Chain A
Amino acid sequence: MLHRFLDGGRHGIPQFETEARQRGAKLIEAEHMLLALASDSESDAGRYLKASGLDHERLASALRDEQRRSLAFAGFQAPDEPRTNAAQVQGPLPLGTSAKVALVRALIASRSHRTRRGRLKDVDLLRGILLAELGTVPRALAIAGVDRMTLISRTGAADS
C-alpha cells in the first residue's frame, strides 16, 4: 500500500531495488533508499546529501564501515564483497521494516504541503529516512561524521 506514494521513475522503487540487489538483500531497507537518493546529484535530495559530504560512493563506504563495525563487535570480519553470488530473488522486492517506517515518517512530515493522495518528493523521503534515530542509517551517518540533525533541518528549510 505504501508503494503508491512512491515515484515509479527516477527516484523510485526500481532504483531502491537495484541498490538492494547489489548488496544481496531480499528486502528494500532505508539504506537502499538513501543510496538511491544519493546517486542522483541533480535531485534536491542528492544535493542536500552532497552538501553534507555524502555522495553515493561516500555513503556506500560508510555503510560498509557500519557493517564492519557491527560484525566486529561479535568477533567476525566482514566479507570484502557482498555475497551476492547466489541466484537472486525474482520479481519485485518487498519493503523492509526500516523502509516502511521511513515512508510513514515521510508521509507524516510532508502532510502540510502534500495533497492527500499526492506522491512523496525526494526530499520528503530523505527526511523520513533521516528521522530514524537508531539503526543502520544513523549509525552509518555517525561513522561518516555527518550531523544528522543538521541535515534534517536543511531538508525542512526546503519547504519554507
Chain B
Amino acid sequence: MPAIEPSPLGEPADGLAAVSALRALADQLEEAAVERAMRDGWSWSQVAEALGITRQAVHKKHLRRLIAAHIELRRRGAA
C-alpha cells in the first residue's frame, strides 16, 4: 500500500479532531460541575454516583485542585 500524505482538514482528520475537542470540553465541564457540586455541599460519594465513576476516582482527580481553591469539602460520613 503506497504511503499517503493525509490532510489536516476534511475526513478523517475532522473526526479525529472532534474526539480531541470533545475530550477537552468534557474535562472542562467536569471540573466546573464537580466544583459547583462540592461548593453546594455534595459529598464525594454523591458526585461520584452522579458521574457514574468511583469515589476514589473523583477524589484522585479533583482533590488537590479543590483544596487549593479553598473549597470546603464534606468529610466521609458527615451529615
B14 located at the interface, meaning its Cβ lies under 8 Å from any Cβ of chain A in the complex: yes
> What count of chain A residues pass the 8 Å CB interface test?
30
Contacts of A143 in B (CB 8 A): 9
Instruction: List which B8-38 residues lie within 8 A (CB) of chain A.
Output: 8-9, 13-15, 17-22, 24-25, 27-29, 31-32, 34-35
Stretch at the interface among A2-10, A54-62, A84-92, A99-107: A84-92
A133 located at the interface, meaning its Cβ lies under 8 Å from any Cβ of chain B in the complex: yes
Contact, CB under 8 Å: A87 / B14 = no
Stretch at the interface among A33-41, A67-75, A119-127, A152-160: A67-75
Contact, CB under 8 Å: B28 / A84 = yes
Contact, CB under 8 Å: B28 / A133 = no
A32 located at the interface, meaning its Cβ lies under 8 Å from any Cβ of chain B in the complex: no
- Alpha-carbon separation in the docked complex, A149 to B24 (Å): 28
Looking at chain B, what size class is its interface with the partner chain? 20 to 34
Contact, CB under 8 Å: A88 / B65 = yes
Q: A73-B15, A73-B17, A142-B8 are in contact. Are A83 and B29 (CB under 8 A)?
A: yes
Cβ distance A21 to chain B, nearest Cβ, rounded Å? 12
* Chain A residues within CB distance 8 Å of chain B: 24-26, 66-67, 69-71, 73-74, 76, 78-79, 82-90, 133-136, 138-139, 142-143
* Chain B residues within CB distance 8 Å of chain A: 5-9, 13-15, 17-22, 24-25, 27-29, 31-32, 34-35, 64-66, 68-69, 71
Contacts beyond the supplied A85-B32, A138-B8: 4 A-B pairs with Cβ under 8 Å: A25-B24, A70-B18, A74-B18, A82-B28
